[in-house]
């Protein structure tokens, strides 16, 4: 099928470009690992606070950092697209019969692969530090990570096409990402939050991703939080893909 073939061709192009400067993938994982090494140990005593989710510190903290990686890893990929727009690469491709969906999915899948590789490295570090979690749960958490990669990369490309300006894009992302991060319960679980903030967090899709990932690491695979998280992330990813692909069709 045309879309699949074009997606594959453009995926290879993106992978090659990443392969030529692999440092960025490494740098992307530096921050999450800092959290694991420098922040998680502070957590150990907190696990005894009432309202703290079940499990030891790493069981609670690793899935949070995993979602944080999902939030940040692909968020800035739109910058590359802005540079390619300026160089005329996208315009050149849009005059060929290439599928517009593939123009989006090629690089998005590369970003997802990057994210999964970074996630794997993160989980290995956590395991070395003492994480013990359900293997099936961790595997499923990677599925969640896949959806989050689709969502964040598509949003980043969609935003890049809408704004076409690196500085403006940076300020928009910075403005949105901090409240999203704080209200997702990544750094501290939302169970500890006062009711008002808890209500606001209920409207944050990433809160559900964190809840789902925590349940999975704890081995509670049948928990309602798991399918809630999957459903919400899948829906958001689909919407983001269609929005961004539409932008590729209509961009001027």
What is the binding site for other proteins (CB under 8 A)? 6, 9-10, 13, 16-17, 20, 84, 86-98, 252
Q: Which residue number, 9 or 136, has a Cβ lying nearer to other proteins?
A: 9
Alpha helices in 53-194 (DSSP H): 57-73, 78-87, 89-95, 100-129, 135-163, 166-182
d(CA 241, CA 126): 32
Q: Which residue number, 16 or 132, has a Cβ lying nearer to other proteins?
A: 16
d(CA 210, CA 216): 10
User: Least distance to other proteins from the beta carbon of 179, Å?
Assistant: 28
User: Least distance to other proteins from the beta carbon of 88, Å?
Assistant: 3
- Distance of alpha carbon 51 from the chain centroid: 27
Residues in the chain, total: 252
Cβ burial, residue 224 (10 Å; 0-12/13-18/19+) = exposed
User: Least distance to other proteins from the beta carbon of 148, Å?
Assistant: 26
Say if residues 8 and 113 touch (Cβ distance below 8 Å).
Answer: no
Q: Which residue number, 12 or 224, has a Cβ lying nearer to other proteins?
A: 12
Q: Which residue number, 4 or 42, has a Cβ lying nearer to other proteins?
A: 4
User: Least distance to other proteins from the beta carbon of 52, Å?
Assistant: 47
User: Least distance to other proteins from the beta carbon of 87, Å?
Assistant: 6
Structure tokens at 192: 């500890």
Structure tokens at 232: 């919400």
Q: Which residue number, 21 or 30, has a Cβ lying nearer to other proteins?
A: 21
d(CA 212, CA 210): 5
Q: At what angle do helices 224-250 and 205-218 cross, to 10 degrees?
A: 140
Q: Which residue number, 88 or 222, has a Cβ lying nearer to other proteins?
A: 88
User: Least distance to other proteins from the beta carbon of 9, Å?
Assistant: 5
């Amino acid at each position: 099928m045309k879309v699949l073939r074009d997606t594959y061709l453009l995926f290879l192009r993106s992978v090659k470009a990443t392969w030529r400067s692999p440092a960025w993938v490494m740098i992307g994982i530096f921050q999450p690992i800092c959290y694991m090494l420098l922040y998680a140990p502070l957590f150990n005593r907190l696990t005894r606070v009432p309202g703290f989710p079940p499990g030891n510190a790493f069981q609670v903290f690793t899935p949070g950092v995993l979602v944080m990686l999902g939030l940040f890893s692909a968020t800035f990929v739109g910058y590359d697209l802005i540079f390619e727009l300026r160089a005329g690469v996208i315009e050149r491709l849009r005059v060929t019969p290439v599928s517009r969906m593939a123009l989006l999915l090629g690089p998005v899948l590369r970003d997802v692969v990057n994210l999964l590789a970074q996630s794997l490295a993160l989980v290995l570090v956590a395991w070395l530090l003492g994480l013990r979690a359900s293997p099936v749960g961790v595997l499923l958490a990677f599925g969640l990570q896949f959806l989050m990669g689709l969502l964040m990369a598509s949003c980043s490309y969609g935003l890049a096409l809408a704004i076409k300006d690196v500085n403006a894009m940076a300020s928009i992302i910075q403005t949105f990402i901090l409240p999203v991060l704080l209200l997702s319960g990544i750094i501290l679980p939302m169970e500890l939050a006062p009711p008002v903030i808890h209500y606001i967090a209920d409207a944050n899709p990433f809160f559900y991703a964190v809840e789902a990932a925590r349940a999975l690491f704890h081995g509670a695979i049948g928990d309602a939080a798991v399918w809630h998280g999957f459903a919400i992330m899948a829906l958001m990813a689909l919407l983001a893909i269609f929005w961004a692909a539409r932008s590729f069709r209509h961009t001027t």
